[in-house]
Amino acid sequence: MDSASPVTPTADDLPDLSRRLAEVRAHTLDLVQPLSDADATAQSMDDASPAKWHLGHTSWVFEAMVLTPHLPDYRPYDDRFSYLFNSYYESIGDRQPRPQRGMLTRPALDEVIAYRGHVDAALQRLAQNKGDDPAVARALQLGLHHEQQHQELLLTDILHLFAQNPLRPAYAPFAMNAEAGTRPADAGGDAAAAVWHDVAGGIMPVGADAEAGFAFDCETPRHDALVRPFRLAGRPVSNDDWLDFMADGGYGDPLLWLSDGWAMVQAENWRAPLYWQEHEDGWRVMTLYGMRPVDPAAPVCHVSLYEADAYARWAGKRLPTEFEWEIAAADLPLSGNLGDGGALTPLPPAVVDAPAPGPRQMFGDVWEWTASAYAPYPGFRPRDGAGGEYNGKFMSGQNVLRGGSCVTPGGHLRATYRNFFYPHQRWQFTGLRLAEDA
């Protein structure tokens, strides 16, 4: 479970804990409502987890790290579930091996949902009776943000699972969501326009302020960083842009690729983003609505860091650093095509009459790869105990992504938010935005 900076909720925050618990926990159940028990049990690859496991794990985290320490009379639903639903908390105990989570045909989906009900009842009792205890409130907030992370992963993993099925099943009806989805009015820009924004450099404060609200520990401490003047693209790289890269032989030119990336291209025979398939009438892509034509104006999605870096080289640009991205986004509204908007797929930018005052689509649509390694900030200290296992021990060999995606829950993001994945991974909703030196 992600550890957070030591923020004490204010008195105004505390009455909302019961409501937020009910909303967030109910939304996770809403996400699995379209799934059968078989859908929720299958595991499509080692990096993904079954939906049923996500349901159990998020409840187990509340049980092990919130209820057991803070509710003395709490009794676990089933002591065996700690082995089933522990993820990687070595200090807590043994666990089902990650590649074998799909073997958990039992407990059945109905029983996992009953487990959630048991945990929910205790959480509400804790929030109502001890929600004014700052330590309890912090633990509950942390559990809520952890669950929101798994809501996004749940949808990401469902898409990968359904993409392995030759029937290419749809998670949701397309007409119900995507065609009705509209770009928020404050996010937009012409996808065809090559608009660039100058950003002044200097010694800039970056990272989360521990007194300003919730943040995971990897976003702290706030500190000064030297950022040189740069220019940032006004929108993410689009599918149309990517088709030009492909047509120009981008996947076949070793001079564009990092060594490990080129080895991956050869080993995996990458020739297009994940989920793309070429048909007689053009490229199609697997989405949560099943197979759909590739939308040229939408942001390219499901590309690895290796592909993003190769594209940037081909375009004569580079990827932004995470601090460049953060200072460009710091004053922008936290709105965009996020999971609560219901589109569940990256959308083209809206057509706007006036030139955009700043970069668009910074939040939502696709997580944007940065050139920055996922590493500790100066002065970083992981939390004591099991909570410190989540972030610090993974600060090796991964890169930072910023901005959220079309399946990131609304209210979960900040400009300082640091997501991180390995360079070869591309089943997440990942894209890119270009930068260059000023």
Ranges in the chain annotated CATH 1.20.120: 16-168
d(CA 145, CA 147): 5
φ/ψ of 424, rounded to 5, equals: -85, -10
Angle, CA 247 vertex, CA 163 and CA 320 arms, to 5°: 75
User: Model confidence over 174-189: pLDDT tens digits?
Assistant: 754 545 455 544 444 4
Q: Shortest CA distance to 317 belongs to which of 234, 251, 259, 405?
A: 234
- Model confidence band, residue 382 (pLDDT cutoffs 50, 70, 90): confident
Q: Any residues with CB less than 8 A from the CB of 247 and at least 6 apart, and which?
A: none
What is the average pLDDT value for the chain, to the nearest integer?
90
Q: Any residues with CB less than 8 A from the CB of 156 and at least 6 apart, and which?
A: 48, 407, 427, 428, 429
Structure tokens at 271: 């020739």
Query: Read out DSSP for 103-167?
Result: G---S-HHHHHHHHHHHHHHHHHHHHHHTTSHHHHHHHHHHHHHHHHHHHHHHHHHHHHHHTSTT
Ranges in the chain annotated CATH 3.90.1580.10: 175-437
Q: Which CATH class is domain 175-437?
A: alpha beta
User: Model confidence over 108-129: pLDDT tens digits?
Assistant: 999 999 999 999 999 999 999 9
Least confident interval from 67-71, 273-277, 357-361: 357-361
- Model confidence band, residue 388 (pLDDT cutoffs 50, 70, 90): low
Residue type, 138: R
Q: Any residues with CB less than 8 A from the CB of 27 and at least 6 apart, and which?
A: 151, 409
Taking the CB of residue 257, how many other CB atoms lie within 10 A of it?
Answer: 22
3 state SS of 59: helix
What are the percentages of helix, strand and coil residues in the chain, rounded to 5?
A: 40, 15, 50
Q: Confirm whether pTM is higher than 0.85.
A: yes
Q: Which fold has domain 16-168?
A: Four Helix Bundle (Hemerythrin (Met), subunit A) (1.20.120)
Taking the CB of residue 334, how many other CB atoms lie within 10 A of it?
Answer: 17
Tell me, letter by letter, the H, E, C secondary structure of 385-397.
Answer: CHHHHCCHHHCCC
Give pLDDT, residue 97. Answer: 94
Give pLDDT, residue 390. Answer: 62
Mean pLDDT of 370-378: 96
**pLDDT higher than 80, residue 193:** no
